[in-house]
A = this chain, B = another copy of it.
Amino acid sequence: MTKKNLSQYAVGRVRALSAYTPGEQPSDGGWIKLNTNENPYPPSPRVRAAILEEVGADGEALRLYPHPLSACLRAAIAKHHGVDPSQVIAGNGSDDILNLLIRAFADGAHPVGMTVPSYSLYTVLVAMQGAALKEVSFDASMALPEDGILSCGANLFILTTPNAPTGVGFSNEQLSRLIGRYDGIFVADEAYAPFADESAAALLKDHPNLVVVRTFSKAYGLAGMRLGYAVADPAVIDMLDRVRDSYNLDRLAQAAAVAAIEDEAYLADTVARVRATRGKLETSLEKRGWFTYPSRTNFIFTQPRDRAGNTSPALTADLFAFLKSQKILVRAFPNHPLTSTFLRVTIGTDSQMQAFNTALDLWQTHAPLA
């Protein structure tokens, strides 16, 4: 019997798929890591305590399956947002939640909409599902393209808000008007919302078609634990639960997340520190004369200039490489004209930002012209 080449057994859309490329995670030490929007501060001390309690004296609890619904965590998230637990689902990172949304609300006959630029994972998840992608482009103002979103014909629209990689926020007033007119499921991917001034969560009571997605990876300092969630109408949560893995969150992750979300004071403190550092960085970049979008997130999106005040993709690439030579990792997005002259820089500690500024000084003295 002749068998096919192994990859030929895979379905066509997977054979054609390019997997999402996560930001670089160097395994050696000494790096200033400003490339994946991690929190420079550790999680609440309560997180460590909760993990140790769950592990216990001999790991006995680990032999038993976790709660399939993450019931305690859903209750804690519901309390945090002032909603009913039936409006909450928890996931193995917000990427898990995004995947569930696309599996439940998209297929060959149900397109997904997104703005460009935004989180490039959406593109991969949509291709994986065999759904059509409706891209709505920003212009350089990064103002919300309301008309484009309303007319794109997507059954499910995912908006990163505040947006990434630009950091730009959208007002609840504007979002409410948009979501109220949107005939489909509207996802506000709020990975960075704790660093902003308002959250679309306040709009849930008026808009049953709104899904607010959150992560513990950024503001809660728990990227290493893979924790995210969504808040939405119970009918939407029901659909997501149907395509969710029965035990998508392990025992330690559930315990860690409950501890993190209950420590509201620690969150407020961490966020305030990041925002203060962000303000200082924005001021210093302004002094350099570099255009930087106003950030509502834990990163800034800035456009490097040469000594003559010009910008170019090559100049940006030169700075990216120079920073890497100084063991400072940032993120570049060379594949789109709206992003190719910019760098995305995570807000680190004050001293990390000083090192970053020192590196910029050094680069500017010998940088090429754009």
Contact = CB atoms under 8 A, between A and B. Distances in A.
Contact of A242 (B17, B38, B68): B17
A318 interface: no
A251 B225 contact: yes
Contacts of A64: 25, 33, 38, 223-224
A121 B68 CA distance: 14
Nearest to A23: B65
Contacts of A181: 1
User: Copy number in this complex?
Assistant: 2
A256 B6 contact: no
A250 B23 CA distance: 16
Given A17-B242, A245-B99, A235 B1 contact: no
Interface in A40-66: 40-43, 45, 47-48, 51-52, 55, 58-66
A42 B61 CA distance: 8
Interface string A215-254: 0010001111110000001011011011111111111110
Given A14-B242, A183-B1, A61 B224 contact: yes
Interface of A: 1, 3-7, 9-11, 13-15, 17-20, 22-23, 25, 27, 33, 36, 38-43, 45, 47-48, 51-52, 55, 58-68, 92-93, 95-96, 99, 103-107, 109-110, 121, 128, 130, 155-156, 181, 183-185, 208-209, 217, 221-226, 233, 235-236, 238-239, 241-253, 256
Given A9-B110, A9-B155, A62-B222, 8 more contacts: A1-B181, A6-B209, A9-B156, A11-B104, A14-B103, A45-B58, A47-B62, A65-B224
